[in-house]
Chain A
């Protein structure tokens, strides 16, 4: 891809020492590095901004490199999970950079747009890439976004469910626009995080 040769080497791409390994901290207060991957324009940033700030901005803002945000949620069993979220750019030129962001991640959220079949193919590419190079035991979620646009749906729910099942992923359809299933997505992820105790 493009100019991958000048991008960081896969083996050196590691973001910071402070996130030693995936989920950490004590058993009551978890911390998890989460990375969002997917084609450009599927709504990764919108999902994150809906989750972190409760906002939705319909004007599209192309992410550059990757944005970093964090959000803490409390679960019913009185544990808290602090998500440190890497919202990566979907543009092709940043693809070679992805290892920099997903390396050491405890969670990967792979997003596609239910109205764009190509984005579903791209999602499968990312799943394969994560299976090869992601952290062992990484929690993976497959997310079909823009569920509010059901009248222009091109990727069936069943296709999503089947692919997720085959690859041991958790599947959900969301709408960052209507906020549908956004919190459920992150709560479900939090429940699936390995507890160290």
Chain B
């Protein structure tokens, strides 16, 4: 059924979707490009990419520091070279990225020597190039297994747990380690927070106090560059990337060999800083003004679980890089009922009323002119979910929403209505606990009466969108599109016979982000993306795709099609939405494009159920 007809401009980018509808030639060009690129695919061999330079320091700015190499001379340079090389003048998209990404993924099993340094991602095999700490790594590709110690997976324990119960328990691990421990040096992804005087504040692994010497080293690197009137953004050493973020007197550092893009890691450090502000506000800076050697660790006592849970979410929660939130699928009237009672209490002096189920929003309402940033929601949900004490009883606690106001505390009333569902009421007044408690009682009564809570539980059991449920006949969409949790049993239609495992056309998974709603919907993982490891790999691939689509240096792009050994990834960005889709690696390109259009149509057909519509406008 895949044919040139199907891939024709009109069916690929129906005018209702096409933001450039005034300019149909663009869609033709897009389609053209995609077709042309398909011819290139097979030629884009991994071996084309040169080995990365072992060390590269990127220094932000004008004031060029002598002896500093170009930012992009590492493996990211490969991407860029590919992109630049294939760019046709005046074109908006760059599908030639196909080859570049290929280079990363394929090395997993190929033995291409030139790329061995790039290789790791999820792999915990003894083939990683070097085994000592960061300093010793010279990116030499024949240093394999010299000590016989393997890289320790960053979420090793998590994955072991996940295999058993798919439950991840937050909390600090490996506290007995320090920078002298081999196991500590082998961890794939470290996060550090330190003060400008070099005092440790937080470390993902190991005890902070035992890492004082290491913190001092990081501080020395940062201040050395600062003294030259400049700022260090990242250092590349072998296959490790060291990313720095300076926030006044607080320094954040990530050391990673996960090949995540610099932009992604920097975004993660920003969130880590935001989580710290949520607990302490930015007024903690004053402590450093009074005493530069101030020790901040006691102020963060008992919050290890909050940070470890946030860091864990960097490898599974798309909200961490999409900067959007996601809703629990619910029938429109059910969500309306929840929104109405929340609006009721918001009118009585509550700043924000948020009803959530785990990480998903059921409904939320803000007082007039108040808007909640998706990052704040992410940090708030992470804080609530990772602090076990909220589950035992109703609580009242100061909380800062860094995007709302990083200097001031709000007061949060938190109460779990059932095991997954919780209500957060935020106010500016420290003495309104009893008022918020009364609000909660009213809300709970209404939610019980209108069956919202039982609908929520039903939705949790039913799960979210499934790629198998994608309506296959586009002519019926709108009238016959399946509702959530229904029609699962309908046997496959003709199209499905074309697909491998997964949904129609080899579709495995997708994420759709609505730009003006600041919400996204992600399909549930299903066969063949079953294991946590595969899910994490896909997640990382999306993250990389996101970074390259939004890159300031090379982007922004409108579409991107990448094929590698693991999957086909397709990304499409318009003024209204961003779509990220993963397909079987053998998926046909024209069919994949067609399927993406169907996904968009499907999402629009059921937007009432998967998005929170008509929420107070978000403005920032």
Q: Which residues of A contact B (CB under 8 A)?
A: 2-3, 5-8, 12-19, 40, 45, 49, 59, 61-69, 87, 89, 91-94, 97, 100
User: Within the complex, which residue of B281, B287, B389, B409 is in contact with A63, where a contact is CB–CB below 8 Å?
Assistant: B389
For A19, the chain B residues whose CB sits under 8 A away are: 434
Shortest A43–chain B CB gap in Å is 13
* Contact across chains for A92 and B301 when beta carbons are under 8 A apart: yes
Shortest B374–chain A CB gap in Å is 22
Is B432 interfacial (CB 8 A cutoff)?
yes
For B393, the chain A residues whose CB sits under 8 A away are: 67-69, 87
Which residue of the partner chain B has the closest CB to A100?
Answer: B430
* Contact across chains for A12 and B431 when beta carbons are under 8 A apart: yes
Which residue of the partner chain B has the closest CB to A17?
Answer: B434
Given A62-B302, A93-B299: A67 touches B392 (CB 8 Å cut-off) = yes
Contact with A along B526-549 (1 / 0, CB 8 A): 000000000000000000000000
Contact with A along B372-411 (1 / 0, CB 8 A): 0000000000010001111011111110000000011100
CA distance A3 to B409 in the complex (A): 11
Shortest B118–chain A CB gap in Å is 41
For A13, the chain B residues whose CB sits under 8 A away are: 430-431
For B390, the chain A residues whose CB sits under 8 A away are: 64
CA distance A92 to B286 in the complex (A): 16
Known: A3-B286, A93-B280. 12 other contacts (CB 8 A): A3-B281, A6-B408, A13-B431, A16-B434, A18-B434, A19-B434, A40-B302, A62-B303, A63-B395, A64-B397, A67-B393, A67-B394
Is B283 interfacial (CB 8 A cutoff)?
yes
* Contact across chains for B281 and A12 when beta carbons are under 8 A apart: no
Which residue of the partner chain B has the closest CB to A65?
Answer: B397
Shortest B18–chain A CB gap in Å is 48
**What are 10 A-B contacts with C-beta separation under 8 Å?**
A2-B287, A3-B299, A8-B430, A15-B431, A15-B434, A18-B434, A68-B393, A92-B301, A93-B301, A100-B430
CA distance A23 to B103 in the complex (A): 72
Which residue of the partner chain A has the closest CB to B281?
Answer: A6
CA distance A52 to B283 in the complex (A): 37
* Contact across chains for A92 and B299 when beta carbons are under 8 A apart: yes
Is B284 interfacial (CB 8 A cutoff)?
yes
Which residue of the partner chain A has the closest CB to B399?
Answer: A65
Interface of A is mostly: loop
For B97, the chain A residues whose CB sits under 8 A away are: none
Shortest B128–chain A CB gap in Å is 36
Shortest B337–chain A CB gap in Å is 27
Shortest B285–chain A CB gap in Å is 9
Given A3-B286, A93-B279: A67 touches B302 (CB 8 Å cut-off) = no
* Contact across chains for B286 and A67 when beta carbons are under 8 A apart: no
Q: How many residues of B contact A (CB 8 A)?
A: 37
For B432, the chain A residues whose CB sits under 8 A away are: 16
CA distance A2 to B397 in the complex (A): 16
Contact with A along B431-468 (1 / 0, CB 8 A): 11111010000000000000000000000000000000
Which residue of the partner chain A has the closest CB to B305?
Answer: A62
CA distance A89 to B301 in the complex (A): 11
Shortest B199–chain A CB gap in Å is 15
Which residue of the partner chain A has the closest CB to B430?
Answer: A8
Is B228 interfacial (CB 8 A cutoff)?
no
CA distance A17 to B430 in the complex (A): 12
For B298, the chain A residues whose CB sits under 8 A away are: 2, 92
* Contact across chains for B395 and A65 when beta carbons are under 8 A apart: yes
CA distance A35 to B281 in the complex (A): 26
CA distance A66 to B437 in the complex (A): 14
* Contact across chains for A45 and B286 when beta carbons are under 8 A apart: no
* Contact across chains for A62 and B389 when beta carbons are under 8 A apart: yes
For A91, the chain B residues whose CB sits under 8 A away are: 301-302
Shortest A70–chain B CB gap in Å is 10
For B398, the chain A residues whose CB sits under 8 A away are: 7, 65, 94, 97
Which residue of the partner chain A has the closest CB to B304?
Answer: A62
CA distance A5 to B280 in the complex (A): 11
Query: 5 tightest A-B contacts by CB?
Result: A65-B397, A16-B434, A62-B302, A61-B388, A8-B430
Shortest A102–chain B CB gap in Å is 13
Which residue of the partner chain B has the closest CB to A1?
Answer: B299
Given A6-B408, A7-B409, A40-B301: A14 touches B431 (CB 8 Å cut-off) = yes
Shortest B30–chain A CB gap in Å is 50
CA distance A89 to B303 in the complex (A): 12
CA distance A15 to B431 in the complex (A): 4
For A5, the chain B residues whose CB sits under 8 A away are: 283, 286
For A87, the chain B residues whose CB sits under 8 A away are: 393
